[in-house]
Structure 1
Amino acid sequence: MKIFRFPLIILVFVHFCGLGNVANAEHSDANFPDVVEKLTRSTLAIAIDAPIKHAGPRIVGTGFVVGDGNYAITNYHVVSEVLDPTIVENYVVLSGQGRVIKKVKAAIEKIDPAHDLALLKLDSTLTPAVLSTTELLPPGTSIAFTGFPIGAILGLYPATHRGYISAITPDAIPAKNSDQLTVKMMQRLSDSSLIYQLDAVAYPGNSGSPVYNPESGEVIGVINKVLVKDTKESALSSPTGISYAIPIKYVTNLLHD
Protein backbone atom coordinates (compact mmCIF):
# COMPACT_ATOMS: atom_id res chain seq x y z
CA MET A 1 0.00 0.00 0.00
CA LYS A 2 2.86 2.42 0.80
CA ILE A 3 4.23 2.10 -2.72
CA PHE A 4 1.17 3.78 -4.19
CA ARG A 5 0.55 6.52 -1.64
CA PHE A 6 3.61 8.65 -2.44
CA PRO A 7 2.86 8.96 -6.17
CA LEU A 8 -0.77 9.72 -5.34
CA ILE A 9 0.26 12.59 -3.07
CA ILE A 10 2.57 13.93 -5.76
CA LEU A 11 -0.19 13.84 -8.34
CA VAL A 12 -2.64 15.61 -6.08
CA PHE A 13 -0.05 18.30 -5.25
CA VAL A 14 0.76 18.94 -8.91
CA HIS A 15 -2.93 19.05 -9.75
CA PHE A 16 -3.62 21.74 -7.16
CA CYS A 17 -0.51 23.72 -8.15
CA GLY A 18 -1.84 23.76 -11.68
CA LEU A 19 -5.18 25.02 -10.45
CA GLY A 20 -3.37 27.75 -8.51
CA ASN A 21 -1.52 28.92 -11.61
CA VAL A 22 -4.74 29.02 -13.59
CA ALA A 23 -6.44 30.96 -10.82
CA ASN A 24 -3.57 33.47 -10.70
CA ALA A 25 -3.69 33.92 -14.48
CA GLU A 26 -7.46 34.44 -14.40
CA HIS A 27 -7.10 36.93 -11.54
CA SER A 28 -4.43 38.83 -13.48
CA ASP A 29 -6.61 38.98 -16.61
CA ALA A 30 -9.60 40.08 -14.53
CA ASN A 31 -7.60 43.02 -13.16
CA PHE A 32 -6.21 44.05 -16.55
CA PRO A 33 -9.15 46.35 -17.48
CA ASP A 34 -8.59 48.26 -14.22
CA VAL A 35 -4.88 48.59 -15.01
CA VAL A 36 -5.67 49.88 -18.52
CA GLU A 37 -8.18 52.38 -17.14
CA LYS A 38 -5.58 53.69 -14.70
CA LEU A 39 -2.87 54.03 -17.38
CA THR A 40 -5.31 55.68 -19.76
CA ARG A 41 -5.71 58.56 -17.31
CA SER A 42 -1.98 59.20 -17.61
CA THR A 43 -1.72 58.66 -21.38
CA LEU A 44 -1.73 61.75 -23.61
CA ALA A 45 -2.01 62.59 -27.26
CA ILE A 46 0.81 64.91 -28.29
CA ALA A 47 -0.35 67.51 -30.80
CA ILE A 48 0.53 70.76 -32.56
CA ASP A 49 -2.05 73.48 -32.04
CA ALA A 50 -2.07 76.04 -34.87
CA PRO A 51 -5.55 77.59 -35.31
CA ILE A 52 -4.51 79.34 -38.51
CA LYS A 53 -3.42 76.08 -40.13
CA HIS A 54 -5.81 73.52 -38.65
CA ALA A 55 -9.37 73.45 -37.33
CA GLY A 56 -8.15 71.46 -34.33
CA PRO A 57 -4.89 70.24 -32.81
CA ARG A 58 -2.91 67.94 -35.16
CA ILE A 59 -1.89 64.80 -33.28
CA VAL A 60 1.71 63.76 -33.91
CA GLY A 61 2.19 61.01 -31.34
CA THR A 62 1.60 59.73 -27.82
CA GLY A 63 3.05 60.55 -24.41
CA PHE A 64 2.40 60.01 -20.71
CA VAL A 65 2.41 62.07 -17.53
CA VAL A 66 5.34 61.68 -15.12
CA GLY A 67 6.79 63.19 -11.95
CA ASP A 68 4.44 65.39 -9.95
CA GLY A 69 1.92 65.58 -12.80
CA ASN A 70 3.42 68.70 -14.37
CA TYR A 71 5.61 66.86 -16.87
CA ALA A 72 5.17 64.41 -19.72
CA ILE A 73 7.47 62.04 -21.62
CA THR A 74 7.32 61.37 -25.35
CA ASN A 75 9.76 60.56 -28.17
CA TYR A 76 12.14 63.25 -29.31
CA HIS A 77 11.15 62.62 -32.92
CA VAL A 78 7.51 63.33 -32.03
CA VAL A 79 8.32 66.92 -31.00
CA SER A 80 11.29 67.57 -33.32
CA GLU A 81 9.22 69.61 -35.81
CA VAL A 82 10.24 73.27 -35.72
CA LEU A 83 7.24 75.47 -34.98
CA ASP A 84 6.53 78.55 -37.06
CA PRO A 85 7.48 81.65 -35.00
CA THR A 86 5.40 83.99 -37.22
CA ILE A 87 2.05 82.50 -36.16
CA VAL A 88 0.41 81.18 -33.00
CA GLU A 89 1.65 77.58 -32.96
CA ASN A 90 2.29 75.48 -29.85
CA TYR A 91 2.79 71.93 -28.72
CA VAL A 92 -0.12 70.75 -26.59
CA VAL A 93 -1.19 67.53 -24.89
CA LEU A 94 -4.72 66.18 -25.03
CA SER A 95 -6.05 64.34 -22.00
CA GLY A 96 -9.40 62.55 -21.77
CA GLN A 97 -11.47 60.30 -23.97
CA GLY A 98 -13.98 60.63 -26.79
CA ARG A 99 -14.92 64.24 -27.40
CA VAL A 100 -14.57 65.26 -23.75
CA ILE A 101 -10.91 66.23 -23.68
CA LYS A 102 -8.66 68.70 -21.93
CA LYS A 103 -6.08 70.64 -23.95
CA VAL A 104 -2.95 71.64 -22.05
CA LYS A 105 -0.11 73.71 -23.46
CA ALA A 106 3.29 72.00 -23.35
CA ALA A 107 6.85 73.27 -23.72
CA ILE A 108 9.96 71.20 -24.41
CA GLU A 109 11.93 71.15 -21.14
CA LYS A 110 14.72 68.66 -21.95
CA ILE A 111 15.67 66.36 -24.81
CA ASP A 112 17.72 63.19 -25.14
CA PRO A 113 18.10 62.62 -28.90
CA ALA A 114 20.46 59.66 -28.35
CA HIS A 115 17.62 57.73 -26.71
CA ASP A 116 14.81 59.43 -28.65
CA LEU A 117 13.23 60.98 -25.55
CA ALA A 118 11.82 64.41 -24.72
CA LEU A 119 10.53 65.86 -21.46
CA LEU A 120 7.64 68.33 -21.72
CA LYS A 121 6.60 70.90 -19.11
CA LEU A 122 2.82 71.12 -18.80
CA ASP A 123 0.78 74.22 -17.99
CA SER A 124 -1.61 72.14 -15.89
CA THR A 125 -1.30 69.25 -13.43
CA LEU A 126 -2.47 65.85 -14.70
CA THR A 127 -2.43 62.29 -13.30
CA PRO A 128 1.09 60.81 -13.42
CA ALA A 129 1.93 57.20 -14.23
CA VAL A 130 4.01 55.06 -11.88
CA LEU A 131 7.48 54.30 -13.24
CA SER A 132 9.15 50.94 -12.66
CA THR A 133 12.44 50.86 -10.75
CA THR A 134 13.69 47.86 -12.74
CA GLU A 135 16.23 49.02 -15.31
CA LEU A 136 15.98 46.13 -17.77
CA LEU A 137 13.54 43.21 -17.89
CA PRO A 138 14.34 39.83 -19.49
CA PRO A 139 12.92 38.42 -22.76
CA GLY A 140 9.64 36.61 -22.22
CA THR A 141 8.24 39.32 -19.92
CA SER A 142 4.61 40.18 -20.72
CA ILE A 143 3.90 43.81 -21.60
CA ALA A 144 1.08 46.11 -22.67
CA PHE A 145 1.03 49.61 -24.13
CA THR A 146 -1.63 52.26 -24.63
CA GLY A 147 -1.62 55.06 -27.19
CA PHE A 148 -3.16 56.70 -30.23
CA PRO A 149 -2.24 54.69 -33.34
CA ILE A 150 -4.67 56.48 -35.69
CA GLY A 151 -4.83 59.92 -34.10
CA ALA A 152 -8.24 61.33 -33.27
CA ILE A 153 -10.26 61.14 -36.47
CA LEU A 154 -13.36 60.02 -34.56
CA GLY A 155 -12.42 61.57 -31.24
CA LEU A 156 -9.75 60.74 -28.69
CA TYR A 157 -9.93 56.98 -28.16
CA PRO A 158 -6.76 55.35 -26.76
CA ALA A 159 -6.03 51.80 -27.95
CA THR A 160 -4.28 49.12 -25.87
CA HIS A 161 -2.16 46.25 -27.21
CA ARG A 162 -0.48 43.33 -25.48
CA GLY A 163 2.62 41.27 -26.22
CA TYR A 164 5.94 40.36 -24.68
CA ILE A 165 9.60 41.28 -24.76
CA SER A 166 11.16 39.09 -27.44
CA ALA A 167 14.77 40.30 -27.20
CA ILE A 168 17.18 42.83 -25.77
CA THR A 169 18.84 44.34 -28.82
CA PRO A 170 21.12 47.25 -29.82
CA ASP A 171 19.31 50.42 -30.83
CA ALA A 172 20.14 50.19 -34.53
CA ILE A 173 18.19 50.30 -37.78
CA PRO A 174 17.77 46.73 -39.11
CA ALA A 175 19.07 45.94 -42.60
CA LYS A 176 17.75 43.17 -44.85
CA ASN A 177 21.29 41.97 -45.62
CA SER A 178 24.94 42.91 -45.07
CA ASP A 179 25.12 44.78 -48.40
CA GLN A 180 22.80 47.45 -46.97
CA LEU A 181 24.94 48.15 -43.88
CA THR A 182 26.50 51.62 -44.08
CA VAL A 183 29.46 52.97 -42.10
CA LYS A 184 27.07 55.09 -40.04
CA MET A 185 24.93 52.04 -39.23
CA MET A 186 28.02 50.02 -38.22
CA GLN A 187 29.12 52.83 -35.89
CA ARG A 188 25.66 52.95 -34.37
CA LEU A 189 25.80 49.18 -33.73
CA SER A 190 29.08 49.52 -31.81
CA ASP A 191 28.01 52.58 -29.80
CA SER A 192 24.29 51.94 -29.35
CA SER A 193 22.33 51.37 -26.17
CA LEU A 194 20.31 48.25 -25.51
CA ILE A 195 16.55 48.52 -26.04
CA TYR A 196 13.55 46.20 -26.00
CA GLN A 197 12.43 44.36 -29.12
CA LEU A 198 8.74 43.56 -28.67
CA ASP A 199 6.52 40.91 -30.15
CA ALA A 200 3.57 43.31 -30.35
CA VAL A 201 1.83 45.30 -33.08
CA ALA A 202 2.39 49.06 -32.84
CA TYR A 203 1.72 51.77 -35.41
CA PRO A 204 3.34 55.14 -36.21
CA GLY A 205 0.95 57.05 -33.92
CA ASN A 206 2.07 54.87 -30.99
CA SER A 207 5.41 56.67 -30.81
CA GLY A 208 5.83 57.75 -27.18
CA SER A 209 3.29 55.24 -25.80
CA PRO A 210 3.97 53.94 -22.27
CA VAL A 211 4.93 50.26 -22.17
CA TYR A 212 3.85 48.78 -18.85
CA ASN A 213 3.50 45.69 -16.70
CA PRO A 214 -0.02 44.28 -17.34
CA GLU A 215 -0.38 43.29 -13.68
CA SER A 216 1.01 46.29 -11.78
CA GLY A 217 0.64 49.05 -14.37
CA GLU A 218 4.20 50.26 -13.75
CA VAL A 219 5.74 51.81 -16.86
CA ILE A 220 8.82 49.89 -18.04
CA GLY A 221 9.55 51.59 -21.37
CA VAL A 222 8.52 53.89 -24.20
CA ILE A 223 7.52 52.78 -27.72
CA ASN A 224 9.79 54.55 -30.21
CA LYS A 225 9.75 52.69 -33.52
CA VAL A 226 8.17 49.94 -35.59
CA LEU A 227 9.88 47.63 -38.06
CA VAL A 228 8.38 48.39 -41.49
CA LYS A 229 8.67 45.92 -44.36
CA ASP A 230 8.28 48.29 -47.31
CA THR A 231 6.76 51.77 -47.16
CA LYS A 232 5.43 53.72 -44.17
CA GLU A 233 1.90 52.99 -45.39
CA SER A 234 2.58 49.24 -45.10
CA ALA A 235 2.96 49.70 -41.33
CA LEU A 236 -0.81 50.25 -41.25
CA SER A 237 -1.96 47.79 -43.92
CA SER A 238 0.52 44.99 -43.23
CA PRO A 239 2.28 45.43 -39.86
CA THR A 240 5.29 43.25 -39.05
CA GLY A 241 4.37 42.76 -35.40
CA ILE A 242 7.92 43.80 -34.41
CA SER A 243 8.20 46.98 -32.36
CA TYR A 244 10.88 48.61 -30.22
CA ALA A 245 10.84 50.42 -26.89
CA ILE A 246 13.30 52.53 -24.89
CA PRO A 247 13.86 51.08 -21.36
CA ILE A 248 12.54 53.16 -18.49
CA LYS A 249 16.03 53.77 -17.04
CA TYR A 250 16.66 56.39 -19.72
CA VAL A 251 13.44 58.18 -18.76
CA THR A 252 14.56 58.15 -15.12
CA ASN A 253 17.95 59.55 -16.11
CA LEU A 254 16.29 62.36 -18.06
CA LEU A 255 14.09 63.23 -15.08
CA HIS A 256 17.02 63.28 -12.65
CA ASP A 257 19.67 65.00 -14.78
Structure 2
Amino acid sequence: MAKTTIFTRRLLTSFVFSFMLFSAKAFAVFPEVVKEVTPSVVAIGLYTPLEANGNQVLGTGFVVADGKHVITNYHVVSKILDPTIVQYFVVISGEGRDVKTYKAEVLGIDPVHDLAVLKFEGKLKPVNLAEGALLPPGTDVAFTGFPIGAAIGLYPATHKGMISAITPDAIPAQNADQLTVSMLKRLKQPELVYQLDATAYPGNSGSPVYDVKTGHAVGVINKVFVSQGKESALSAPSGISYAIPIIHALSLLKQHGL
Protein backbone atom coordinates (compact mmCIF):
# COMPACT_ATOMS: atom_id res chain seq x y z
CA MET A 1 0.00 0.00 0.00
CA ALA A 2 2.87 2.34 0.91
CA LYS A 3 4.63 1.56 -2.35
CA THR A 4 1.46 2.35 -4.29
CA THR A 5 1.11 5.69 -2.48
CA ILE A 6 4.75 6.62 -3.19
CA PHE A 7 4.31 5.67 -6.86
CA THR A 8 1.12 7.73 -7.11
CA ARG A 9 2.83 10.76 -5.57
CA ARG A 10 5.77 10.47 -7.95
CA LEU A 11 3.43 10.15 -10.91
CA LEU A 12 1.44 13.17 -9.77
CA THR A 13 4.62 15.19 -9.20
CA SER A 14 5.89 14.23 -12.66
CA PHE A 15 2.56 15.23 -14.22
CA VAL A 16 2.51 18.61 -12.47
CA PHE A 17 6.13 19.30 -13.45
CA SER A 18 5.43 18.36 -17.09
CA PHE A 19 2.34 20.57 -17.11
CA MET A 20 4.34 23.50 -15.70
CA LEU A 21 7.01 23.03 -18.36
CA PHE A 22 4.35 22.88 -21.10
CA SER A 23 2.63 26.00 -19.76
CA ALA A 24 5.92 27.90 -19.53
CA LYS A 25 6.83 26.85 -23.06
CA ALA A 26 3.41 27.89 -24.41
CA PHE A 27 3.71 31.23 -22.63
CA ALA A 28 7.17 31.81 -24.12
CA VAL A 29 6.20 30.82 -27.67
CA PHE A 30 3.68 33.60 -28.37
CA PRO A 31 6.09 36.56 -27.92
CA GLU A 32 8.45 34.81 -30.32
CA VAL A 33 5.64 34.36 -32.85
CA VAL A 34 4.77 38.08 -32.61
CA LYS A 35 8.46 38.94 -33.05
CA GLU A 36 8.57 36.75 -36.14
CA VAL A 37 5.42 38.20 -37.76
CA THR A 38 5.81 41.91 -36.95
CA PRO A 39 8.57 42.77 -39.49
CA SER A 40 6.21 41.61 -42.25
CA VAL A 41 3.40 43.94 -41.16
CA VAL A 42 3.38 47.30 -42.94
CA ALA A 43 1.32 50.47 -43.02
CA ILE A 44 -0.47 51.39 -46.23
CA GLY A 45 -0.35 55.11 -46.94
CA LEU A 46 -1.12 57.79 -49.48
CA TYR A 47 1.59 60.22 -50.55
CA THR A 48 0.47 63.60 -51.88
CA PRO A 49 3.47 66.00 -51.69
CA LEU A 50 1.47 69.06 -52.75
CA GLU A 51 -0.91 68.62 -49.82
CA ALA A 52 1.33 67.28 -47.03
CA ASN A 53 4.97 66.65 -46.22
CA GLY A 54 4.36 63.14 -44.90
CA ASN A 55 2.26 60.12 -45.73
CA GLN A 56 -1.39 59.74 -44.83
CA VAL A 57 -1.72 56.30 -43.23
CA LEU A 58 -4.83 54.55 -44.54
CA GLY A 59 -4.57 51.14 -42.92
CA THR A 60 -2.44 48.04 -42.47
CA GLY A 61 -1.13 45.35 -44.80
CA PHE A 62 1.25 42.41 -44.72
CA VAL A 63 4.00 41.22 -47.04
CA VAL A 64 3.37 37.99 -48.96
CA ALA A 65 4.69 35.77 -51.76
CA ASP A 66 8.11 36.90 -53.04
CA GLY A 67 8.44 39.71 -50.49
CA LYS A 68 7.53 42.35 -53.08
CA HIS A 69 3.77 42.21 -52.67
CA VAL A 70 1.33 43.18 -49.92
CA ILE A 71 -2.19 42.05 -49.04
CA THR A 72 -4.59 44.62 -47.59
CA ASN A 73 -8.28 45.50 -47.72
CA TYR A 74 -9.79 46.83 -50.93
CA HIS A 75 -11.46 49.64 -48.98
CA VAL A 76 -8.01 50.80 -47.78
CA VAL A 77 -6.88 51.50 -51.35
CA SER A 78 -10.23 52.14 -53.07
CA LYS A 79 -9.58 55.88 -53.36
CA ILE A 80 -9.23 57.03 -56.98
CA LEU A 81 -5.88 58.81 -57.27
CA ASP A 82 -5.94 62.36 -58.59
CA PRO A 83 -4.26 62.32 -62.04
CA THR A 84 -3.69 66.10 -62.00
CA ILE A 85 -1.19 65.97 -59.13
CA VAL A 86 1.60 63.69 -57.89
CA GLN A 87 -0.18 61.12 -55.76
CA TYR A 88 0.46 57.46 -55.11
CA PHE A 89 0.08 54.69 -52.57
CA VAL A 90 3.03 53.75 -50.38
CA VAL A 91 4.08 50.82 -48.23
CA ILE A 92 5.70 51.92 -44.96
CA SER A 93 7.92 49.58 -42.97
CA GLY A 94 9.72 50.10 -39.66
CA GLU A 95 9.01 51.42 -36.20
CA GLY A 96 8.72 54.86 -34.62
CA ARG A 97 10.32 57.47 -36.85
CA ASP A 98 12.83 54.95 -38.23
CA VAL A 99 10.80 53.89 -41.25
CA LYS A 100 11.29 53.20 -44.93
CA THR A 101 8.72 54.17 -47.52
CA TYR A 102 8.23 52.32 -50.80
CA LYS A 103 6.16 53.46 -53.74
CA ALA A 104 3.37 50.98 -54.46
CA GLU A 105 0.70 50.26 -57.05
CA VAL A 106 -2.51 48.28 -56.83
CA LEU A 107 -1.93 45.07 -58.78
CA GLY A 108 -5.30 43.41 -58.26
CA ILE A 109 -8.55 43.74 -56.34
CA ASP A 110 -11.35 41.53 -55.03
CA PRO A 111 -14.13 43.93 -53.95
CA VAL A 112 -16.48 41.05 -53.03
CA HIS A 113 -14.07 39.89 -50.32
CA ASP A 114 -12.68 43.37 -49.62
CA LEU A 115 -9.12 42.42 -50.63
CA ALA A 116 -6.38 43.99 -52.69
CA VAL A 117 -2.82 43.04 -53.58
CA LEU A 118 -0.17 45.74 -54.03
CA LYS A 119 3.25 45.55 -55.63
CA PHE A 120 5.89 47.79 -54.06
CA GLU A 121 9.39 48.93 -54.95
CA GLY A 122 11.27 46.99 -52.32
CA LYS A 123 11.60 43.58 -50.72
CA LEU A 124 10.65 42.55 -47.19
CA LYS A 125 10.15 39.32 -45.29
CA PRO A 126 6.81 37.70 -46.21
CA VAL A 127 4.27 36.16 -43.84
CA ASN A 128 3.56 32.44 -44.15
CA LEU A 129 -0.01 31.86 -45.30
CA ALA A 130 -2.09 29.00 -43.92
CA GLU A 131 -3.97 26.66 -46.23
CA GLY A 132 -6.97 24.44 -45.74
CA ALA A 133 -10.45 24.64 -44.28
CA LEU A 134 -11.78 27.38 -42.02
CA LEU A 135 -10.53 27.17 -38.45
CA PRO A 136 -13.20 26.23 -35.88
CA PRO A 137 -14.63 28.59 -33.26
CA GLY A 138 -12.54 28.55 -30.10
CA THR A 139 -9.23 28.75 -31.97
CA ASP A 140 -6.82 31.27 -30.46
CA VAL A 141 -5.59 33.91 -32.90
CA ALA A 142 -3.84 37.28 -32.90
CA PHE A 143 -3.44 40.19 -35.27
CA THR A 144 -0.81 42.90 -35.59
CA GLY A 145 -1.32 46.30 -37.18
CA PHE A 146 -1.55 50.04 -36.72
CA PRO A 147 -4.85 50.73 -34.91
CA ILE A 148 -4.30 54.50 -34.59
CA GLY A 149 -2.23 55.07 -37.73
CA ALA A 150 1.01 56.99 -37.31
CA ALA A 151 0.05 60.09 -35.34
CA ILE A 152 3.03 59.66 -33.00
CA GLY A 153 5.14 57.45 -35.23
CA LEU A 154 4.67 53.96 -36.56
CA TYR A 155 4.21 51.51 -33.70
CA PRO A 156 2.76 48.06 -34.49
CA ALA A 157 0.31 46.78 -31.89
CA THR A 158 -0.74 43.18 -31.36
CA HIS A 159 -4.17 42.07 -30.12
CA LYS A 160 -4.99 38.53 -29.06
CA GLY A 161 -8.37 36.80 -28.99
CA MET A 162 -10.17 33.87 -30.50
CA ILE A 163 -12.46 32.93 -33.33
CA SER A 164 -15.89 33.18 -31.74
CA ALA A 165 -18.00 32.26 -34.79
CA ILE A 166 -18.06 31.66 -38.50
CA THR A 167 -20.80 33.92 -39.75
CA PRO A 168 -22.30 35.38 -42.96
CA ASP A 169 -20.57 38.56 -44.11
CA ALA A 170 -23.22 41.07 -43.08
CA ILE A 171 -22.89 43.42 -40.12
CA PRO A 172 -25.80 42.82 -37.70
CA ALA A 173 -28.34 45.64 -37.79
CA GLN A 174 -29.99 47.05 -34.67
CA ASN A 175 -33.34 47.11 -36.42
CA ALA A 176 -34.90 46.29 -39.78
CA ASP A 177 -34.67 49.91 -40.98
CA GLN A 178 -30.87 49.56 -41.12
CA LEU A 179 -30.92 46.58 -43.48
CA THR A 180 -29.89 47.79 -46.93
CA VAL A 181 -30.59 46.07 -50.26
CA SER A 182 -26.90 45.20 -50.45
CA MET A 183 -27.04 43.52 -47.01
CA LEU A 184 -30.11 41.53 -47.94
CA LYS A 185 -28.44 40.26 -51.13
CA ARG A 186 -25.35 39.21 -49.17
CA LEU A 187 -27.54 37.33 -46.66
CA LYS A 188 -29.22 35.38 -49.49
CA GLN A 189 -25.83 34.27 -50.82
CA PRO A 190 -23.58 34.75 -47.81
CA GLU A 191 -19.80 34.66 -47.84
CA LEU A 192 -18.60 33.21 -44.57
CA VAL A 193 -16.14 35.20 -42.47
CA TYR A 194 -14.53 34.90 -39.07
CA GLN A 195 -16.12 36.73 -36.17
CA LEU A 196 -13.42 37.43 -33.58
CA ASP A 197 -13.65 37.98 -29.86
CA ALA A 198 -10.93 40.66 -30.07
CA THR A 199 -10.82 44.44 -30.25
CA ALA A 200 -9.77 46.00 -33.56
CA TYR A 201 -9.82 49.64 -34.61
CA PRO A 202 -10.20 51.40 -37.99
CA GLY A 203 -6.42 51.48 -38.58
CA ASN A 204 -6.32 47.69 -38.22
CA SER A 205 -8.01 47.23 -41.59
CA GLY A 206 -5.78 44.86 -43.56
CA SER A 207 -4.01 43.41 -40.52
CA PRO A 208 -3.04 39.73 -40.73
CA VAL A 209 -4.91 37.40 -38.38
CA TYR A 210 -2.56 34.57 -37.49
CA ASP A 211 -2.34 31.35 -35.53
CA VAL A 212 -0.77 32.09 -32.13
CA LYS A 213 1.31 28.90 -32.31
CA THR A 214 2.66 29.02 -35.87
CA GLY A 215 2.38 32.65 -36.96
CA HIS A 216 0.72 31.54 -40.20
CA ALA A 217 -1.85 34.05 -41.48
CA VAL A 218 -5.38 32.64 -41.45
CA GLY A 219 -7.35 35.78 -42.23
CA VAL A 220 -7.41 39.53 -42.87
CA ILE A 221 -9.11 42.02 -40.51
CA ASN A 222 -11.63 44.06 -42.50
CA LYS A 223 -14.20 45.57 -40.13
CA VAL A 224 -15.48 45.97 -36.61
CA PHE A 225 -18.99 45.92 -35.22
CA VAL A 226 -19.98 49.47 -34.26
CA SER A 227 -23.01 49.78 -32.00
CA GLN A 228 -23.07 53.52 -31.21
CA GLY A 229 -22.08 55.32 -34.40
CA LYS A 230 -18.75 55.74 -36.19
CA GLU A 231 -17.12 57.80 -33.45
CA SER A 232 -17.57 54.99 -30.92
CA ALA A 233 -15.24 52.71 -32.90
CA LEU A 234 -12.38 54.41 -31.03
CA SER A 235 -14.02 55.67 -27.84
CA ALA A 236 -16.21 52.66 -27.06
CA PRO A 237 -15.16 49.65 -29.16
CA SER A 238 -17.54 46.70 -29.17
CA GLY A 239 -14.80 44.06 -28.98
CA ILE A 240 -16.32 42.27 -31.99
CA SER A 241 -14.23 42.19 -35.14
CA TYR A 242 -14.45 40.43 -38.49
CA ALA A 243 -11.82 38.88 -40.74
CA ILE A 244 -11.80 37.55 -44.30
CA PRO A 245 -10.53 33.94 -44.47
CA ILE A 246 -7.05 33.72 -46.00
CA ILE A 247 -8.28 31.36 -48.74
CA HIS A 248 -9.63 34.39 -50.63
CA ALA A 249 -6.25 36.13 -50.43
CA LEU A 250 -4.60 32.97 -51.76
CA SER A 251 -7.06 32.96 -54.66
CA LEU A 252 -6.30 36.62 -55.47
CA LEU A 253 -2.56 35.96 -55.39
CA LYS A 254 -2.98 32.94 -57.65
CA GLN A 255 -4.87 35.06 -60.19
CA HIS A 256 -1.77 37.21 -60.48
CA GLY A 257 0.74 34.38 -60.66
CA LEU A 258 1.90 34.69 -57.06
Measured against the shorter chain, the TM-score band is over 0.9
The equivalent position to 1:204 in structure 2, one of 202, 205, 208, is: 202
The yes-or-no answer on 1:149 pairing with 2:114 is no
Q: What's the offset of the Cα at 1:181?
A: 3.1
Distance 2:77 2:181 in 1: 28
Q: What's the offset of the Cα at 1:12?
A: 6.3
Q: Which aligned pairs between 1:78-89 and structure 2 lie closer than 5 A?
A: 78-89=76-87
Unaligned runs of 5+ in 2: none
- The question of whether the paired residues in 2 share the 8 Å contact of 1:135 and 1:248 is answered with no
The equivalent position to 1:54 in structure 2, one of 48, 52, 56, is: 52
Query: What is residue 42 of structure 2 aligned with on the other side?
Result: 44
Distance 1:62 1:209 in 2: 5
Q: What's the offset of the Cα at 1:22?
A: 4.1
Could you say what the CA RMSD is over the residues aligned between the two structures, in angstroms?
2.0
The yes-or-no answer on 1:133 pairing with 2:142 is no
The 1:21/1:244 distance shift into structure 2, 3 A limit, reads farther
TM-score (norm 1): 0.93
Aligned partner letter, 1:41: P
The equivalent position to 1:109 in structure 2, one of 91, 107, 110, is: 107
Query: What is residue 93 of structure 1 aligned with on the other side?
Result: 91
Distance 2:22 2:165 in 1: 26
> 1:152-190 CA deviation, whole Å, 9 max, x = no partner?
111111011100000000111211134543443222112
TM-score (norm 2): 0.92
Distance 1:129 1:120 in 2: 15
Distance 1:176 1:129 in 2: 37
Distance 1:123 1:64 in 2: 15
The equivalent position to 1:193 in structure 2, one of 176, 188, 191, is: 191
Distance 1:22 1:251 in 2: 38
The 1:39/1:115 distance shift into structure 2, 3 A limit, reads same
Aligned partner letter, 1:76: Y
- The question of whether the paired residues in 2 share the 8 Å contact of 1:196 and 1:245 is answered with yes
Query: What is residue 239 of structure 2 aligned with on the other side?
Result: 241
Aligned partner letter, 1:117: L
The 1:84/1:215 distance shift into structure 2, 3 A limit, reads same
- The question of whether the paired residues in 2 share the 8 Å contact of 1:134 and 1:220 is answered with no
Distance 1:183 1:154 in 2: 40
Distance 1:80 1:248 in 2: 20
Aligned partner letter, 2:69: Y
Q: What's the offset of the Cα at 1:136?
A: 0.8
| Deviates further, 43-52 or 179-188 | 179-188
Q: Which aligned pairs between 1:156-235 and structure 2 lie closer than 5 A?
A: 156-235=154-233
Stretches of 4+ moved more than 4 A in 1? 11-19
Distance 2:21 2:189 in 1: 45
The 1:18/1:182 distance shift into structure 2, 3 A limit, reads farther
Unaligned runs of 5+ in 1: none
Q: Percent identity?
A: 55
